[in-house]
Amino acid sequence: MRIAILGAGAWGTALAVVASARHPVTLYARAAAHAEELARLRENRRYLPGVALGAGIECVGDLEVALAHAELIVLATPLAGLRSLCRALAPRNVGEVVWVCKGIETETRLLPHSVVAEELPGARTAALSGPSFALEVAQGRPTALTAASADPDLQGRIVGALHAGALRVYRSDDLVGVEVGGAVKNVMAIAAGISDGLQLGTNARAALVTRGLAEIMRFALAMGGRAETVMGLTGAGDLILTCTGALSRNRSVGLALGGGESLEAVLARLGHVAEGVPCARAVLALAREHGIEMPITEAVCAVLFEKLAPREGLLRLLARAPKSED
Residues annotated as part of the active site: 185
DSSP calls for 82-106 = HHHHHHHHGGGT--EEEE---S--T
C-alpha closest to that of 136 among 4, 276, 2, 13 = 13
Q: Give, in order, the Cα–Cα distances in Å from 289 to each of 208, 222, 293.
A: 23, 11, 11
Cα 4 from Cα 191, distance rounded (Å): 36
DSSP calls for 255-299 = HHHHTT--HHHHHHHH-S--THHHHHHHHHHHHHHHT---HHHHH
Number of helical (H) and strand (E) elements in the chain, helices listed first = 16, 10
CA 141 to chain centre: 19
Q: How do strand 143-148 and strand 3-6 relate by DSSP bridges?
A: unpaired
Cα 188 from Cα 204, distance rounded (Å): 13
118 neighbors 105 (Cβ within 8 angstroms): no
Residue 168's Cβ-count burial label (10 Å; 0-12, 13-18, 19+) is: middle
SS3 130: coil
CA 310 to chain centre: 24
C-alpha closest to that of 149 among 178, 185, 183, 119 = 178
Cα 229 from Cα 129, distance rounded (Å): 12
CA 17 to chain centre: 18
**Phi-psi region at 73: left, alpha or beta (left = phi > 0; alpha = psi -120 to 50):** beta
